[in-house]
């Protein structure tokens, strides 16, 4: 008997994560992050999944979100394979459901993809995230990340004066070459198409790894032109949100032909959705990496374990677990620019 046929109960709970420090993006300042948990119970077994809704960014940020969670709980006996297609427009619920079933079926509630990573024998190289803010605040973050052993940092740009941002990047390059510190920048769609190429040329003087989403998503022709003419590798991020069918995904990649894509499982349909994008990208020789989307440690844990088994050789975007005052204690820890799984630290997931 398959385990989902024994499920007696499915419930959901809302949780508001509070930032330790208000974090700036080109979309505004974040002080809280809403998330939802799916909890499955089958006889004496339990499964936990996180539906990482991202208000203002997720395609499933819509009024009937909680109604859909209720529907999932009511129809949980349909099982994962039948439920996922019904949730195509709710990628964060797809992810939470995949995670919950994986958790239910695992020997350990939190070890969804057992590996050298979960044994504590290997780690995942990650980028250190620099949030937007005043020049002084950003400089302090950069200094802290370098001291903490990161050799790849990612700067959010596009919210303060462009020349100030250039000066910050220049100050890093004056001290560290690209062999010492890899720099990625993320514009979150902040550049206007008419100015984007010129700004990319300016940024390219500093030997950056890449820029994420230089212009707002949905401007396919403009983005395709940028990717064709850019002096700096471009990574699509928001552009992937809300593209549901395999055909549409393939068409998007063929039309834009970016240098990289960035996968946030909560925003692109979980493990299955990420697998589809990865396969399509690799067929087209497009690079990729995986990023969390401000989930709690429960979601981050699942994303990290999935990321490890995909064996990408690029630094990943998984270092968000320490941002919140009310996160859940977990074995995840950031050390020397890597994400590690310390089995001496126990989980404390209490809602």
Indicate whether 100 and 133 sit together in one domain: no
Mean pLDDT over all residues of the chain? 93
Indicate whether 214 and 171 sit together in one domain: yes
Q: What are phi and psi of 3, to 5 degrees?
A: -65, -30
119 in a structural domain: no
Q: Which residue has the higher pLDDT, 1 or 299?
A: 299
Q: CA nearest 130: which of 165, 100, 104?
A: 165
Tell me the mean pLDDT in the region 69-86.
96
Would you state the pLDDT for residue 27? 62
Per-residue pLDDT at 5 exceeds 70: no
Indicate whether 241 and 203 sit together in one domain: yes
Per-residue pLDDT at 326 exceeds 60: yes
346 in a structural domain: no
Indicate whether 98 and 219 sit together in one domain: no
Would you state the pLDDT for residue 134? 78
Indicate whether 76 and 218 sit together in one domain: no
Tell me the mean pLDDT in the region 71-97.
97
Q: Mean pLDDT lowest for which of 73-77, 121-125, 143-147, 189-193?
A: 143-147
Per-residue pLDDT at 49 exceeds 70: yes
348 in a structural domain: no
Residues marked active site are found at 156, 264
Question: Residue 337 belongs to a domain with what CATH number?
Answer: 3.20.20.120
Indicate whether 155 and 271 sit together in one domain: yes
Per-residue pLDDT at 350 exceeds 70: yes
Q: CA nearest 298: which of 104, 88, 50?
A: 50
Indicate whether 187 and 336 sit together in one domain: yes
Looking at the 3D structure of the chain, how many domains does it have?
Answer: 2
What range does the domain containing 301 cover? 124-341
From 105, 136, 165, give the residue that closes a domain: 105
296 in a structural domain: yes
Indicate whether 291 and 162 sit together in one domain: yes
Strands 9-25 and 28-42: antiparallel
Question: Residue 16 belongs to a domain with what CATH number?
Answer: 3.30.390.10
167 in a structural domain: yes
In this structure, are residues 161 and 185 in contact, taking their beta carbons and an 8 Å threshold? no
Indicate whether 21 and 89 sit together in one domain: yes
118 in a structural domain: no
As a residue count, the chain comes to 351
The pLDDT tens digits of the residues spanning 176-193 come to 899 989 999 999 899 999
Indicate whether 37 and 129 sit together in one domain: no
Would you state the pLDDT for residue 323? 86
The pLDDT tens digits of the residues spanning 305-322 come to 999 999 999 999 997 678
Would you state the pLDDT for residue 1? 36
112 in a structural domain: no
Per-residue pLDDT at 2 exceeds 50: no
Indicate whether 233 and 273 sit together in one domain: yes
Would you state the pLDDT for residue 21? 82
From 105, 138, 170, give the residue that closes a domain: 105
Indicate whether 213 and 322 sit together in one domain: yes
């Amino acid at each position: 008997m398959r385990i989902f046929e024994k499920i007696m109960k499915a419930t959901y709970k809302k949780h508001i994560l509070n930032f330790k420090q208000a974090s700036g993006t080109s979309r505004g300042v974040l002080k809280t992050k809403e998330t939802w948990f799916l909890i499955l119970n089958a006889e004496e077994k339990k499964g936990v999944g996180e539906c990482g809704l991202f208000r203002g960014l997720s395609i499933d940020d819509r009024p009937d979100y909680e109604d859909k969670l209720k529907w999932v709980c009511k129809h949980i006996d349909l099982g994962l394979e039948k439920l996922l297609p019904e949730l195509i427009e709710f990628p964060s619920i797809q992810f939470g459901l995949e995670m919950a079933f994986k958790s239910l079926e695992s020997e350990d509630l939190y070890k969804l993809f057992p590996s050298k990573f979960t044994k504590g024998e290997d780690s995942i190289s990650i980028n250190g995230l620099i949030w937007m803010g005043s020049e002084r605040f950003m400089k302090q973050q950069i200094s802290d990340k370098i001291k903490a052993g990161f050799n790849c940092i990612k700067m959010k740009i596009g919210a303060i004066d462009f020349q100030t941002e250039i000066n910050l990047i220049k100050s890093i390059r004056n001290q560290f070459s690209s062999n010492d510190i890899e720099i990625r920048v993320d514009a979150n769609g902040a550049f206007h198409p008419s100015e984007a190429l010129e700004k990319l040329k300016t940024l390219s003087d500093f030997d950056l790894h890449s820029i994420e989403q230089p212009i707002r998503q949905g401007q396919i022709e403009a983005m395709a032109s940028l990717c064709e003419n850019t002096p700096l590798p471009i990574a699509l991020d928001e552009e992937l949100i809300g593209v549901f069918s395999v055909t549409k995904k393939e068409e998007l990649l063929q039309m834009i032909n970016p240098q990289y894509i960035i996968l946030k499982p909560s925003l692109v349909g979980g493990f299955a959705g990420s697998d589809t994008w990865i396969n399509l990208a690799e067929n087209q020789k497009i690079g990729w990496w995986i990023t969390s989307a401000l989930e709690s440690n429960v979601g981050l844990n699942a994303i990290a374990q999935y990321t490890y088994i995909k064996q990408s050789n690029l630094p990943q975007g998984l270092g968000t677990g320490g941002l919140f005052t009310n996160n859940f204690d977990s074995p995840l820890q950031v050390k020397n620019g890597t994400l590690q799984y310390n089995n001496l630290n126990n989980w404390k997931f209490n809602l």
